[in-house]
Structure 1
Amino acid sequence: MGWSAIWLVTMVCAAVSMVVAAMAALNTALQAIAEDPKIAASAAEQTWIIDGYTLMLAALLLPAGAIGDRLGRRGVMIGGLVVFGIASLLGVFAGSATELIATRALAGAAAAFIMPTTLSLITSNVPVSRRPLAISIWAGVAGVGAIAGFFVTGLLLKFFGQDNWRAIMITFAVSAALTALLCLTVGTSKDSDPDPFDWAGSVASVLAVFLFVFGLLEVPQRGWTNPLVLGSLIGGVVLAVVFCVIEFRIRFPLLDVQLFTNRAFSAGSLAVMLQFFASFAVFFLVLQQLQLIFGYTPLASAVALFPLIIGVGVFSLIGNWVAVRYHSLRFVLAIGVFLCGLGILLMGVIHYTQYWQLAVFLSIAAVGIGLATAPSTTAIMQNTPLDDQGVGSAVNDTARELGAAVGIALAGSILAAGYANRIGPTAEAAQRALSNPATGGDPATGAAAAEGIRNSLAGATHVAGKLPAQAHPLAQQILDGAHAAFTNPMHTSFIILGAILIVGSAVLAWISPRRMVPLAKAD
């Protein structure tokens, strides 16, 4: 790989790592944001501070990728970086939760123009012989970007203090500005003969993804049977069907949906979705376990996830090499997703109490994700026409976002329902103890404490931490009850997630071809 190609891969990896890190970075600062006098975010607002970014990113990916193909991928990426930096800077000056959510949504919209162009620049500018290696590096970086976000956030909060969450936004703004300037030095590419833009397909795709992801993001708070959730999910599916009808009938479609009849393309898309379904569900569960049960700081929690970085980083190179060198796409996708499912299943079956046990299970899952992540992306991109690489990249990225949203929704709903079913006796005991006037309590205090305990493990931990030293036995009773109420549904979530992935690996073994591209095309 020549120096220009190395520099290009370095720059686009810097850009994509920023986009993925921003999906997760504010998770560790939510408590500080909620307690900020200017923001004072409620529980629902805290959720949308995170989810507003994800929703806009997922909804706009397909049309953003097509715009990059038409206008020039480097220019669109730099424009996205500039808007991303401005949105992050505006977040520093946000004076309310609503304003902060709006800046995060703007950053997510900008990220939709960055993410697909990073991969399409690689596939259109890097020589064919070095393209699998470049894609492996990109896939590895994209796969562990969320952990990098946790780590950088933990460092910033440790250095500047837990209350200075705005340092995170400043860091994103400065990083985006610097990356945008450096990206002026890389080559560009675009569709050599662009077709008219598909406005009808673009609107249908944006609305379909928006509604479906919105419904998924609301599942943990509202449940699967809530009318808003059901209406959003059904509406998203209906609009997805409308999108497919439009794309079949229009002369110049946004996405040639017949690409999904290519077995390598469809298998790669499914594998990508399963990987992010697994990884973000695991992040959602394990970070709470590390911080609220094991007592780790945000920085220590990020470091505890390093087995994922090592496993994905190393095996993403190995997986693509095996798939390309030995024409074994079916093998690496099926085995990779199976190992990921096995690692997660073991987290549910074995009730571990030590970090080293968790690290072993995470390492098994990381090897699996690493084996499958680069080959699945390579299969998508090598079976997409060269002039439509931005759209192919957007399909890859949309699969990631949908997988992540489904994983979080499933894990979150199982956890919320299981916790609510088990926490009642603990909350009632705390309410009785804190409502007793004889011990200095009052009914209002007891009711507020019980509500906090019922809301979540984080709420229960907060209530226990606020009790005076003489109430230590009650605090310990609250923590023990909340930990038990959290741990059981957490293990159930791991079992269900792992089982879905193992079934998914069997589906991949069935539909995946041996070769990355059809034989005629490869020749």
Structure 2
Amino acid sequence: MTAVEQAPAVGGRYKWIALSNTTLGVFIATVDGSIVIISLPAIFRGIGLDPLAPGNISYLLWMILGYLLVSAVLVVALGRLGDMFGRVRMYNAGFAIFAAASIALSLDPFMGGAGALWLIGWRVVQAFGGAMLTGNSAAIITDAFPANQRGTALGINQITALAGQFIGLLAGGFLAVIDWHAVFWVSVPIGVLGTLWSYRSLREIGSPRPARIDWVGTLTFTAGTGALLAAITYGIQPYGGHPTGWTSPLVLSGLALGIALLVAFCVAETRIRQPMFRLGLFRIRAFAAGNIAALLTAVARGGMQFMLIIWLQGIWLPLHGYDFENTPLWAGIYMLPLTFGFLVAGPIAGFLSDRFGARLFATGGLVLVVLAFLGLLALPVNFSYPLFALLLFVSGVGQGMFSAPNTSAIMGSVPAADRGVASGMRSTFQNSGTSLSIGVFFSLMIVGLATSLPTTLSAGLQAQGVPAATAQSVASLPPVSTLFAAFLGDSPIAHLLEPSGVLKTLPPDHVTALTGTKFFPELVSGPFHQGLVTVFGAAAIMAAVAALASLLRGRTAR
């Protein structure tokens, strides 16, 4: 057995305690990453803020993306600190910070913009604690389990974490119906109990390796990644008459600054004696291939997640009689086959990969993901749900087959002393992929809608008696407003027409038709399908490239 494969000798009971606690930690961290998405309408109503009013879309974007950006940017540095000062110590501190931030979030004392800033700020703090959890959990498990059980343990941990993203969607829908504060209350008891449990039960198995903090690497990586992801986020917003902001000087400057800082980071890391980010790990074939595959899969998965939500909330559910305000909850329910596929395939694939290696299951799982994307491409906008559910289940199974063996192969390929930083690097690729997917796929969808939605929308409004000038003015608004209105469970047409006051001048039957559940979905189904073809086609290509990278990881990766 090589030095990489060896695990410290620990008692049989402790490894299951370590697995249980770290799985709880990453589960609640990923649940909180997505729980606000479905519950955003209730949250903004609760603080008395219209997120789609001019100047307020930034609140909406940062409420969704602030948590993800912090998780992506800081997780490597926090994993590296775990190697230096103790993985369990960093993990325990993360649970405590996460619990404290959860309490603060549930006690928002402000309204309007101040209330939104309170939530965004404490979400950033909560994400910092969550990054400490996710950045060290895989390393703690790898330390505690022998190589022949590592795939099973990491499979349970990682599939629970990924399932948490989708369970968060469902939980947000249910809790928002009770009270918007409940979206944040749910994390408080789990955070407090998890903190007490981790401090009492976890212990350091690996040996901390004291070293100097790599301030140059930490600052350039944090600033560069943050600037890059923030610029991509702002690329969603319209600028200068364009439907997206990719021509904005602010966005272009952010992209250039981020790339320049990351280049400086890579140069610095090759010259610093004790670097934060061990670029030399990419010489390990299984590590490099596994992380490339994880990044591309995360981008594809994130794009699918948000597009499915908009598809269900904005078109399919209203066409089947669901009121717009009820669609966020039902979208989470109708996406359950995806989560179920994760939970079925993940632990099984992790267990089998311990015996037969990671490449077969990880690559085979990504092939299933590609097939699911192609199946979604072939569906009409108003699809038959059983076939839709089957495709979601296949995609969930494929992602479960990939995630557990891939994580096991990555973590098992590095020296024991580097497991903390390797865990952080793996999490960074995964979290960055999710953040990238929102900017990339929303932009693709917006560009797709911008080519045909204005003409379709103007003609449809005029057919219902809306004056031509008003109809053309509404149709010329950026498509992002229409997308986010559907995303937030509002009636998009009512939201677009209310500022003009035209609804008060139209006959009641026309108002009913315009604001009902059929008009908007039937109007935009054609343009929206064009956008879906672009998005799912790009996601399928990414998943196929990820499958190729996984195939090239080598025969002995386990």
Name 2:392's counterpart in structure 1.
362
- Alignment CA distance shift 1:452-1:37 (3 Å): farther
- Alignment CA distance shift 1:473-1:303 (3 Å): closer
In structure 2, the gaps of 5 or more residues are: 1-10, 238-243, 496-502
Aligned AA for 2:232? L
Q: Deviations over 1:481-500 (max 9, x none)?
A: 13333232123211221122
Which one has the bigger helix percentage?
Answer: 1
Q: Deviations over 1:148-188 (max 9, x none)?
A: 11121122123x1xxx2111112222321121112123222
After TM superposition, the structure 1 = structure 2 runs for residues 431-450 of structure 1, keeping only pairs within 5 Å, are none
Name 1:470's counterpart in structure 2.
509
The separation in 2 between residues aligned to 1:23 and 1:98, in whole angstroms, is 17
Contact kept? 1:345, 1:499, Cα under 8 Å: no
The separation in 2 between residues aligned to 1:224 and 1:203, in whole angstroms, is 26
Q: Deviations over 1:250-306 (max 9, x none)?
A: 111112211101110011111211221122111100011122222263333222222
Query: RMSD value over aligned CA atoms?
Result: 2.7
Residue in structure 2 matching 1:102, options 121, 140, 146: 121
In structure 1, the gaps of 5 or more residues are: 518-523
Name 2:45's counterpart in structure 1.
35
- Alignment CA distance shift 1:470-1:449 (3 Å): farther
Name 1:19's counterpart in structure 2.
29
Name 2:82's counterpart in structure 1.
68
Deviation at 1:379, TM superposition (A): 1.5
Residue in structure 2 matching 1:268, options 273, 290, 297: 290
- Alignment CA distance shift 1:249-1:104 (3 Å): same
Give me the TM-score of the superposition, normalised by structure 2: 0.84
Name 2:500's counterpart in structure 1.
none
- Alignment CA distance shift 1:171-1:257 (3 Å): same
User: Are residue 455 (structure 1) and residue 481 (structure 2) matched?
Assistant: yes
Contact kept? 1:457, 1:486, Cα under 8 Å: no
User: Are residue 495 (structure 1) and residue 537 (structure 2) matched?
Assistant: yes
The separation in 2 between residues aligned to 1:316 and 1:453, in whole angstroms, is 38
**In terms of mean alpha carbon deviation, does 347-356 or 133-142 score higher?**
347-356
Name 1:235's counterpart in structure 2.
257
- Alignment CA distance shift 1:416-1:446 (3 Å): closer
Tell me which of the two structures has the higher relative contact order, counting C-alpha pairs closer than 8 angstroms and 6 or more residues apart.
2
Contact kept? 1:426, 1:477, Cα under 8 Å: no
After TM superposition, the structure 1 = structure 2 runs for residues 183-194 of structure 1, keeping only pairs within 5 Å, are 183-189=198-204, 190-194=206-210
- Alignment CA distance shift 1:46-1:434 (3 Å): farther
Name 2:6's counterpart in structure 1.
none
Deviation at 1:367, TM superposition (A): 2.1
The separation in 2 between residues aligned to 1:359 and 1:442, in whole angstroms, is 41
User: Are residue 515 (structure 1) and residue 556 (structure 2) matched?
Assistant: yes
Q: Deviations over 1:122-157 (max 9, x none)?
A: 111233332221111011111211111112112212
Name 2:165's counterpart in structure 1.
146
Name 2:140's counterpart in structure 1.
121
Residue in structure 1 matching 2:188, options 158, 166, 173: 173
The separation in 2 between residues aligned to 1:324 and 1:234, in whole angstroms, is 43
**In terms of mean alpha carbon deviation, does 484-493 or 421-430 score higher?**
421-430
Name 2:231's counterpart in structure 1.
215
Aligned AA for 1:211? A
The separation in 2 between residues aligned to 1:195 and 1:348, in whole angstroms, is 51
Contact kept? 1:273, 1:400, Cα under 8 Å: yes
Aligned AA for 2:85? L
The separation in 2 between residues aligned to 1:23 and 1:368, in whole angstroms, is 22
- Alignment CA distance shift 1:265-1:361 (3 Å): same
SS at match of 1:184: helix
Name 1:245's counterpart in structure 2.
267
Give me the TM-score of the superposition, normalised by structure 1: 0.89
Contact kept? 2:231, 2:255, Cα under 8 Å: yes
User: Are residue 486 (structure 1) and residue 528 (structure 2) matched?
Assistant: yes
Contact kept? 2:43, 2:180, Cα under 8 Å: yes
**In terms of mean alpha carbon deviation, does 485-494 or 388-397 score higher?**
485-494
The separation in 2 between residues aligned to 1:389 and 1:50, in whole angstroms, is 30
User: Are residue 330 (structure 1) and residue 365 (structure 2) matched?
Assistant: no
The separation in 2 between residues aligned to 1:117 and 1:167, in whole angstroms, is 28
